[in-house]
Amino acid sequence: MSTRPQKSLETFPNPAPGRDYEIRFECPEFTCVCPKTGQPDFATLHITYVPDELCLELKALKLFLWSFRDEGHFHEDVTNLILDQLVGACRPRRMRIEGDFNVRGGIHTTVVVEHVGGR
Protein backbone atom coordinates (compact mmCIF):
# COMPACT_ATOMS: atom_id res chain seq x y z
CA MET A 1 0.00 0.00 0.00
CA SER A 2 1.44 3.37 -0.96
CA THR A 3 -0.18 5.34 1.85
CA ARG A 4 -0.61 4.79 5.56
CA PRO A 5 -2.62 6.52 8.27
CA GLN A 6 -0.83 9.52 9.73
CA LYS A 7 -1.40 12.10 12.43
CA SER A 8 0.30 14.95 10.57
CA LEU A 9 -1.80 17.46 8.65
CA GLU A 10 -0.67 19.41 5.63
CA THR A 11 -1.90 22.83 4.59
CA PHE A 12 -1.51 25.18 1.65
CA PRO A 13 -1.88 28.96 1.34
CA ASN A 14 -5.45 30.23 1.10
CA PRO A 15 -5.88 31.52 -2.47
CA ALA A 16 -8.35 34.23 -1.29
CA PRO A 17 -7.34 35.25 2.25
CA GLY A 18 -9.15 38.59 2.01
CA ARG A 19 -12.56 36.94 1.58
CA ASP A 20 -14.68 34.89 3.98
CA TYR A 21 -15.83 31.70 2.29
CA GLU A 22 -16.75 28.24 3.56
CA ILE A 23 -15.06 24.98 2.77
CA ARG A 24 -17.19 21.92 3.50
CA PHE A 25 -16.04 18.32 3.74
CA GLU A 26 -18.30 15.30 4.14
CA CYS A 27 -16.36 12.29 5.41
CA PRO A 28 -18.77 9.31 5.38
CA GLU A 29 -16.21 6.60 6.19
CA PHE A 30 -14.88 7.71 9.59
CA THR A 31 -14.24 4.85 12.03
CA CYS A 32 -12.80 4.42 15.48
CA VAL A 33 -13.52 1.83 18.16
CA CYS A 34 -15.59 1.91 21.32
CA PRO A 35 -13.22 2.26 24.30
CA LYS A 36 -15.48 0.00 26.39
CA THR A 37 -16.13 -2.90 24.00
CA GLY A 38 -13.52 -2.56 21.27
CA GLN A 39 -16.26 -2.78 18.66
CA PRO A 40 -16.10 -0.45 15.66
CA ASP A 41 -17.93 2.86 15.62
CA PHE A 42 -18.86 4.38 12.27
CA ALA A 43 -19.66 8.02 11.60
CA THR A 44 -20.06 10.65 8.96
CA LEU A 45 -18.06 13.74 9.82
CA HIS A 46 -19.25 17.06 8.43
CA ILE A 47 -16.42 19.58 8.60
CA THR A 48 -17.11 23.21 7.72
CA TYR A 49 -14.57 25.99 8.06
CA VAL A 50 -13.74 29.51 6.97
CA PRO A 51 -10.00 29.58 6.28
CA ASP A 52 -7.72 32.41 7.27
CA GLU A 53 -4.20 32.11 5.84
CA LEU A 54 -4.15 28.32 5.37
CA CYS A 55 -6.37 25.59 3.90
CA LEU A 56 -6.34 21.89 4.75
CA GLU A 57 -4.90 19.55 2.13
CA LEU A 58 -7.39 16.75 1.35
CA LYS A 59 -5.11 13.72 1.08
CA ALA A 60 -3.49 14.58 4.42
CA LEU A 61 -6.96 15.02 5.96
CA LYS A 62 -7.99 11.59 4.67
CA LEU A 63 -4.87 9.94 6.13
CA PHE A 64 -5.36 11.84 9.40
CA LEU A 65 -8.95 10.63 9.78
CA TRP A 66 -7.86 7.10 8.87
CA SER A 67 -5.40 7.17 11.79
CA PHE A 68 -8.31 6.90 14.27
CA ARG A 69 -9.53 3.56 12.86
CA ASP A 70 -7.95 1.36 15.54
CA GLU A 71 -8.07 3.83 18.43
CA GLY A 72 -10.60 3.69 21.26
CA HIS A 73 -12.50 6.96 21.74
CA PHE A 74 -15.84 8.11 23.07
CA HIS A 75 -17.81 10.04 20.43
CA GLU A 76 -17.48 13.30 22.35
CA ASP A 77 -13.74 12.84 22.83
CA VAL A 78 -12.86 12.03 19.23
CA THR A 79 -14.95 14.86 17.78
CA ASN A 80 -13.32 17.43 20.07
CA LEU A 81 -9.86 15.94 19.47
CA ILE A 82 -10.26 16.20 15.70
CA LEU A 83 -11.45 19.82 15.99
CA ASP A 84 -8.47 20.75 18.18
CA GLN A 85 -5.98 19.18 15.80
CA LEU A 86 -7.52 20.67 12.65
CA VAL A 87 -7.67 24.13 14.25
CA GLY A 88 -4.05 23.77 15.34
CA ALA A 89 -2.98 22.91 11.80
CA CYS A 90 -4.78 25.62 9.80
CA ARG A 91 -5.89 28.26 12.36
CA PRO A 92 -9.23 28.99 10.64
CA ARG A 93 -11.49 31.95 11.28
CA ARG A 94 -14.25 29.49 12.16
CA MET A 95 -14.63 25.72 12.16
CA ARG A 96 -17.51 23.38 12.96
CA ILE A 97 -17.46 19.61 13.05
CA GLU A 98 -20.58 17.50 13.28
CA GLY A 99 -19.94 13.85 14.10
CA ASP A 100 -23.00 11.86 13.05
CA PHE A 101 -22.36 8.44 14.61
CA ASN A 102 -24.26 5.32 13.57
CA VAL A 103 -26.61 3.67 16.02
CA ARG A 104 -24.92 1.77 18.83
CA GLY A 105 -27.03 -0.06 21.39
CA GLY A 106 -30.18 1.51 19.98
CA ILE A 107 -28.89 5.07 20.43
CA HIS A 108 -27.96 7.45 17.62
CA THR A 109 -25.43 10.10 18.63
CA THR A 110 -24.55 13.42 17.02
CA VAL A 111 -21.75 15.54 18.48
CA VAL A 112 -21.28 19.14 17.30
CA VAL A 113 -18.17 21.12 18.21
CA GLU A 114 -17.19 24.62 17.11
CA HIS A 115 -14.24 26.95 17.10
CA VAL A 116 -14.52 30.70 16.54
CA GLY A 117 -11.17 32.39 16.12
CA GLY A 118 -9.97 35.78 15.12
CA ARG A 119 -7.64 37.10 12.53
Cβ–Cβ contacts within 10 Å for residue 22, how many? 10
**Is 84 a residue of the active site?**
no
Exposure string over 50-69, b if 16+ CB within 10 A, otherwise e = bbbebbbbeebbbbbbbebe
**Is 41 a residue of the active site?**
yes
In the set 27, 34, 52, 77, the catalytic residue is 34
In the set 20, 32, 41, 77, the catalytic residue is 41
Catalytic residues: 34, 41
